[in-house]
Structure 1
Amino acid sequence: MSNNNTPLALVTGGSGFIAVHIILKLLKKQYRVRTTLRTMNRQDEVRAMLRAGGAANLEGLYFVQADLSSDHNWDEAVKGADYVIHVASPTPNKVYKDENEMIQPAREGVLRVLRAARDAGVKRVVLTSAFGAIGVGHSHHKGPYTEEDWSNTDAKIHPYQKSKTIAEKAAWAFIRSEGHGLELATVNPVGVMGPILGNDYSHSNDIVRQIIEGKLKSVPKIYSDYVDVRDVADLHILAMLRPEANGQRFIASSSENLSMLDIANILRKHLGDDAKSAPKKELPNLAVRAAAVFNPKLRMVATLLGQDMSTSNRKAKQLLGWQPRSAEEAIAATGKSMVKLIKGQMKS
C-alpha cells in the first residue's frame, strides 16, 4: 500500500505505448505514479492497459490533465514529485503541412516540463528522446552510432527526427543555463517493439500490423536496430535512479541491425498462419523514392534508404548494468500481441 512517504514519479503522456510500460514497472516497484493525459476520458483505457500488463493494484496511480501546448496545470502535475519521466511528444504518424507544427510543440513541451520540474524541486527528469536525435542526416556515416552523435538538422530529414533533435538539445541547454541543480538524463530508443497492451502503440508496431495484415506486398530496403519496450522502461528507471546517469544520454537498443524483410521473416517464424501474408520481397529504392513524392507517409521512409543506422548499447550496459532482450524476442512479442489485438477488434 502506498503512502505519502513513498516516492512519487510523474510520467507524462500516460496513454502512450512506452509510458504505460514505464508506469507498470514503477507500480511494481511500489512507487506512487502520477501521469498526465490531454483528456481525462482516457483514464479507464490506461487502467485497462495496465491490467493487461499484469498490474494487480492501481491504488498508487493518479491522473492529472495537462497538455504540452499549454502552461495550464503543469505546476499541479509536478507538485510533490521526486522524479519526472517525460515521455509525451508529437508522433511521426501524423502528416504535417509545415515542419514547425511538429518541431515547436516538441521543443516548447520539453521546456515547459523542465521549468515546472525545476520550480517544484524535482530531483531528476528523464527525457524520452529518440534515435532520431542521434543518427539521421549523415549520408556517409559508418555505424555503430553512440551517444556522442547528434542528428544533422541541416540535412533533409523528417520533421519528427528534427523535432526530437531540437527538443533534446533545448533540454540540455536549459539544464546548463536555467536548471539550477535540476538533474537530467535522456533515453534514446531505436525502433520500439514488444507487448502491445491496447490500441495506443508505436510507429514501429504499426509496421508490424501492416506486415501481418498483408498491406505491404514488398518492403523498403531499410536496416534498423530494435528494442523491447519492457527494456526501454527498465532503462528509464535506471536513468532515473542511478547517480552516474545524471547528465548522460543512453541509447536503448539490442544493437542488432535488421531489415524490414528480416522482421517479416521473424513474424512468419513465430506466428505461422497468422503471418502468412507477410511480404517476401524488397522494393527497389528508386520505386520508394518515386512513391514518396505523392505519398507523404513514405517521405520519412525515403530519407532512411541506404543509411547505416546500427547502434551501440555499450554505455547503458556498462554504466547501468542494463541487459536488453534480443530483437527477435521483441518482434515476436509485438506480433503475438498484435494478432490478439486484431482478432479482438474483429469480434467487437
Structure 2
Amino acid sequence: MAETVLVTGGTGYIAGWCLAGLLQQGYDVRTSLRSLAKEPALRAALSGQGIDHTRLTCFAADLTRDEGWSAAMAGCDYVLHVASPLGLDAPQHLEDMVAPARDGTLRVLRAATHAGVRRVVMTSAATVATPPLQSPDSLSDESVWFDPNETHVTPYRHAKRQAERAAWDFMHKQTGPTTLTTVLPGAVFGPIMSADTLGSVQVIARLLQGRAKGNPRLGFEVVDVRDLAALHIRAMTASAAAGQRLLGVGQFLWMAEISQILRDHLGDAANKVPSRNIPDWLLRLLARFDPLLRGLTPNLGRQHRHTAEKARVMLGWQPRPSSETLIDCANSLIAHKVV
C-alpha cells in the first residue's frame, strides 16, 4: 500500500514540483488549497509536465484558519509544509508577514502531531542561517541563526526565522511519534509549471523583460526548484534527517553573472537583459517606488555563502549546475509567454 503525503499550498512554485516528484515516485498525494477553484489549474499544470495526477487529492485548507486541516492530515504518513509568504513585496507592517508564516506553521504542526504523522518537512530559508550584516563574509552552516535584533532585517527574514523557531519550540514539547526536519533553500529558480506561479522566478522575468535597467550589487545562492523538491522528499524518509536543519543551496552568483549567463545562452531572447551595473545609491532611490527592490536593498554588496555539505553527505543530494537552472528557467518563462 502506497504511503500518503500532504503538501501544503499546492499551487505554490516549490510545492508544485514537490507534487510532481511525489506522484512520479508512486505516493498517494494530497495537497491543501485555499480554494478548490484552483484545482483544475493545478491539475492542468501537472499534466503539462507529463505528470499523472490521478493519485492526487485536493483539500480546502487555509493557513489562516483551522478548518480543513484535520481532514487533510487524517491517515497521512508525511507532510511537506511548503506554503508560506514569499516576501518579494515588502508589507507595510512586519506582523503582516510574520503572523501568517508563524501561525500557519503552528496550525499545520498541531494537525500533523494530532494525526500521528511520522515526519513534517518544513521549508525555511537559508537567510535564517545567515550571520549579521556587519560580520565578515564567511561560510555558514545549519548551526547559525541570525540575530532578530540585527538592523535592516527584512520582514521576509523575520517571518522565516520566527516560523522556524516556533516550529522547533513546538516540536521540542511533543512526546508523540512525529519528527521535524527543516530545509533552508537559497534563491529558488528553475522551470515554472504555469504563468500563474512565478515565485522567486520574478527576478529572472524582470531581467528578460527589460524591467531591470542595470545589474545591482546583489547576489543569490541559486538552487534549482527540481533539486529542492528532491531534497524535501529525501529528507522526508531518511531516518538520519529527523530533527535536522538542512541547507539547500548551490553556487553564489552576482546579478551581473546571472545576466551574463542569460546573454551567453539565449541569443535574441536576452536582448533586454542589462549588461551595465548600477550603483548602490541608484538602487536605493528606485527602491522607494518598487517593493521588490525595497526588500533586497539590505543585501547590497553581501555575499551570502552557506554550505550544503550536510545534505550532500547525509542524503546524497547533488544539485545541478546553476547555469543549467537559469537557462531552463528562462526558456520556461519564454515557453509560458511570461516574457
TM-score (norm 1): 0.94
CA distance in 2, matches of 1:38, 1:93: 20
SS at match of 1:178: coil
Partner of 2:184: 188
Partner of 2:279: 284
Partner of 1:87: 82
> Which of the numbers 118, 133, 136 marks the counterpart of 1:123?
118
Q: How far off is 1:134 after superposition? A: 1.5
Give the AA of the match of 2:19: I
Partner of 1:234: 230
SS at match of 1:152: coil
CA distance in 1, matches of 2:282, 2:67: 47
> Which of the numbers 290, 294, 305 marks the counterpart of 1:310?
305
CA distance in 1, matches of 2:16, 2:63: 18
Structure 2: stretches of 5+ with no match in the other structure: none
CA distance in 2, matches of 1:151, 1:157: 10
Query: CA 1:179 to 1:38, structure 2 compared with 1: closer, same or farther past 3 Å?
Result: farther
Q: How far off is 1:152 after superposition? A: 2.3
Contact 1:133/1:161 (8 A) holds in 2: yes
Q: How far off is 1:175 after superposition? A: 0.7
CA RMSD of the aligned region, Å? 1.5
Partner of 1:225: 221
Matched, 1:319 2:314: yes
CA distance in 2, matches of 1:149, 1:288: 29
Q: How far off is 1:179 after superposition? A: 5.3
Partner of 1:109: 104
Q: How far off is 1:296 after superposition? A: 3.4
Query: CA 1:229 to 1:312, structure 2 compared with 1: closer, same or farther past 3 Å?
Result: same
Contact 2:131/2:144 (8 A) holds in 1: no
Q: Which moved more, 1:193-202 or 1:74-83?
A: 193-202
Partner of 1:38: 34
CA distance in 1, matches of 2:317, 2:290: 39
Runs ≥4 residues deviating over 6 A: none
Contact 1:191/1:224 (8 A) holds in 2: yes
> Which of the numbers 142, 162, 184 marks the counterpart of 1:166?
162
CA distance in 1, matches of 2:94, 2:268: 41
CA distance in 2, matches of 1:286, 1:306: 12
SS at match of 1:239: helix
Q: Which moved more, 1:131-140 or 1:331-340?
A: 131-140
CA distance in 1, matches of 2:116, 2:239: 17
Contact 1:49/1:197 (8 A) holds in 2: yes
> Which of the numbers 9, 13, 17 marks the counterpart of 1:13?
9
Partner of 2:146: 151
CA distance in 2, matches of 1:327, 1:296: 26
Q: Deviations over 1:51-108 (max 9, x none)?
A: 12221x2111000000000111110110100000000011213341211010011000
Partner of 1:272: 267
CA distance in 1, matches of 2:127, 2:47: 31
Give the AA of the match of 1:241: T
Matched, 1:251 2:247: yes
Partner of 1:197: 193
CA distance in 2, matches of 1:130, 1:332: 23
Structure 1: stretches of 5+ with no match in the other structure: none
CA distance in 2, matches of 1:202, 1:175: 32
TM-score (norm 2): 0.96
Contact 2:8/2:15 (8 A) holds in 1: yes
Q: How far off is 1:311 after superposition? A: 1.6
Q: How far off is 1:138 after superposition? A: 3.0
SS at match of 1:67: coil
What is the number of equivalent residue pairs in this alignment? 338
Q: How far off is 1:174 after superposition? A: 0.6
> Which of the numbers 184, 203, 209 marks the counterpart of 1:207?
203
Contact 1:92/1:160 (8 A) holds in 2: yes
Contact 2:116/2:176 (8 A) holds in 1: no
Q: Deviations over 1:1-43 (max 9, x none)?
A: xxxx210000000001110101111011100000000011111
Identity %: 38
